Amino acid sequence: MICDLTDREIKESIFDIESNKASGPDGYTLEFFKRACDVVRNDICLAKKDFFKNGKLLGEVNSTLIALIPK
């Protein structure tokens, strides 16, 4: 990577994604993060910058929730 990501670039990338996508394992959709941007922005920016610096995702990000649905 030539230069570090800015908080503005991270925020713009989040707001460019469609809001009505499936929720993550924590149950929160992207709409929540957009509406709570002022509260969660610093944590999201730190996590994304850390990923690009170290090349490793947080364990919480790299998880899957599987729900069995009976017929």
Residue 41 lies in a domain: yes
Tell me how many domains the chain contains: 1
- How far is 69 from 37, CA to CA, in rounded Å? 33
Residue 65 lies in a domain: no
Residue 32 lies in a domain: yes
pLDDT digit string, tens, across residues 3-14: 788 889 888 888
Residue 70 lies in a domain: no
Residue 66 lies in a domain: no
Are residues 34 and 19 in contact, defined by beta-carbon separation less than 8 angstroms?
A: yes
Question: Which range marks the domain in which residue 31 is found?
Answer: 7-17+26-54
Residue 39 lies in a domain: yes
What are the φ and ψ backbone dihedral angles of 38, each rounded to 5 degrees?
A: -65, -30
- What is the pTM assigned to this prediction? 0.64
pLDDT of residue 18 exceeding 80, the answer is yes
